[in-house]
Structure 1
Amino acid sequence: MKSITSQKILIIGNGGREYAIGRAFSQDSRVDRIYFYPGNGGTNKLGENISVQTDEELIRFILSHQIDFVFIGPEAPLVEGMSDVLREAGIKVFGPSSKAAQLEGSKAFMKDFVSRFGIPTARYLQTSHYDEAREFIISLTPPIVLKADGLCAGKGVVIVNTHKQALEELKNMLEGKSFGEAARCVVIEEFLDGYELSVFALCDGEEYVLLPASQDHKRLLSADRGPNTGGMGAYAPTPLCDEEMMKKIENLIIKPTLKGMQKEKMPFYGVLFAGIMVVSIGDVLQPYLLEFNVRFGDPECEILLPLLKTPLLDLCYGVMEHKLGLLKVEISQRYCVGVVIASQNYPYSTSEAKAISINDVDENLGHICFAGVNLKDGILMATGGRVLVCVGVGESLKEARKNAYALVGKVHFDGMNYRDDIGFRALKNV
């Protein structure tokens, strides 16, 4: 690859993921300037938050400020085609095309795609017709999984325990009462019983680099109780994914997906996330694909980037220039645990803004990534949703979790809410 110097980078998004990406770039001496659109009250410590109203204004800003490339963080702009618009304007972009982003943008597209290429996934039906869906639901043994086809910010999945509940939820989804227009088409799946893994691959269309397997914690409350959320914490690497399991995921899911995307003339460039359910079939553990995302997860991004020894900047150029195969990618042998601190009413409703106080943070423990925050008269305010992520780093998973919760103890605002058991599956026998 060519020598990389004096980079100006624009990051699209306003969450903890985008803060983590900006933080990784800010530690690279080759990065001169970082912009965020729109950013949050914490990202302006790493760079400059900008505000524009249209794609045309955004393109003018990028060109006039001689920005080297744009990193698109969230799923919505990718699915809506922002990367295509920017590329057509001659701007370098880290992120897949809108066609490739259908892997996340449409669960029906994803399920049909993986079925065509023999990728292991749960038995399913995608439909907009109640009678057809009812017949399939009755054929399944509960629990039963119903998914809205479109984007729902990670919350468009319902698991029910009876046929009656499934039919009631189906009716609500098809009528737009649950998840709005995103559920006018539904995907109904058999329930897979096992444990989940999050596996991320950086992809340049042909070559790919696997990052350490991680595990997200979706439920709001400790011991996996309460409703699903966007994620209340994560850790990596997980001992629940050994070398043999990672090889299975690579050969059965990642490789055939990238080959299939090439075959269907929508090669995948960027970050591909595979949500995996590991199921025990007799004495054999088998990975099944639950879902794809076409970007870094949040909060997984916050705990994966600190494990990179190879600079994120080099990886981005490896992807954008289709030269990942030329890079020698190194991963730290340490562990990371991220604990999300959310606002009082998350995920049920909005919360009143509250002032945040943070005591001195010992950087030997880790760091904090900011998400749902803004600045008011110089004071950092928790503005609702997931507010920040305390990222602990250690030589063992146990040490990393201890450090993460030590950081949690440094944060104070009224109504703060977090789980006290991140990493419990891996540590329960330690």
Structure 2
Amino acid sequence: MSYIKPLVTFSCAVGGVALLLCLDIFKPQREKLISLIPTNIKDRVFSDISAHSKDRLFTLDELEKYRGQDGNDIYLAILGQVFDVTKGRKHYGPGGTYHFFTGNAGTRAFVSGDFSQQGLKENLDGLSLKDIQGISGWVDFYHQQYTYIGKLVGHFYDENGNPTAAMDEFENLLEQAKQKQKEDDEDLKRFPPCNSETKVGVSRRIWCSENSGGIKRDWTGVPRQYFQPGNSQARCACVRDKGPPSSGGSSSNNGDLNNPNMKVYDGCEPTATSCATPKDRLFTLKELERYRGQVYLAILGQVFDVTKGSKHYGPGGTYHFFTEYAGTRAFASGDFSPQGLTENLDGLSLEDIQKISDWVNFYHKKYTYKGKLTGHFYDKNGNPTKAMNNFERLLEQAKKKPKYRDEDRKRFPRCITHYEVGFGRKMMCSKNRQEIV
């Protein structure tokens, strides 16, 4: 055993020398030492290191091999970044709702909703800043949920894996989108959204409070139609009715009531903090079918005018089928066949119920609410049916579920994840890590 002590000493000495050679001040000595290594060994060693440290580069032909046939892996590309989505085979594998995204380069379709061969393309010309931010959000989603594999050579990265002019343009637009989002957030603080509730057959009530729109403040304000510059649709905003205006040099003391972008709702008192809009209109399915040019859509028995989205909902649009049926179930199931476009929600999970509720909120925010569809969820008088009452009951259960999930995350917080292309994903824990996302 007498050889152990010299061996340990020798190992420590070698380790110490190696550590010192890593420092920049010893760069000349390091390069000289490397030059003494035989070329054949040096090339093999350092090429292996390079191969592991750089992103794997795919051509589109290579990517097409990974579509899940015969149980093979499934790869998907977005913004020139390739992800292994094999664990989501149910959705991305053959027969899955999103199979068309695999083995393909279709970044634009993630926000355009055009899933045809013409729509599945990389060209992002003409997309809005909101769409650009949407693509960035999808990229973040895939980094969080799936495994990053490498880069797709073509539109966003060249044959060496370097960003192309198209990627530089995307990054520039993304910066603009973030700035626009910052401005929109400041606008929401200045003119918070109203509270609203709809009672079928009675009216839709809108009102302001010191916490309406989820924005806490020390004033209540009055509801107004807000025609924000750059937006084609008005939204309900709570407007300060006392003190100086939020912008401009006016000396008035009635807040933002004189703002030219504000309009009093029909039937509302100008100084009222709460008011009711007219009674809901009731539609039959046969009446709803007449609205194909002026496009109407129903979900959970609520009818919306989606004409401004005719590109998607009009004849030939990706989601035109939603205007032909009362198909609430499909919003959660992803089954867009005539059999899947049904109002029956039996067997759906609580997550699916929450998803339908989120879609209803989406249409309330983005499109114009028109009334109620009589049938499955509302009777001929516009009163909720047993099916609607059952939905509300399940939705209450769905809302409680995140509470237990959040409690679990407090016990077992998520790791902090940091990702850099070419370096991989780094995970760590700290006292300041996010508990709930």
TM category, shorter: under 0.3
Larger helix percent: 2
Taking structure 2 as the reference length, the TM-score comes to: 0.24
Taking structure 1 as the reference length, the TM-score comes to: 0.24
Higher-Rg member (1/2) = 2
Larger strand percent: 1
Bigger relative CO (Cα 8 Å, ≥ 6 apart): 1
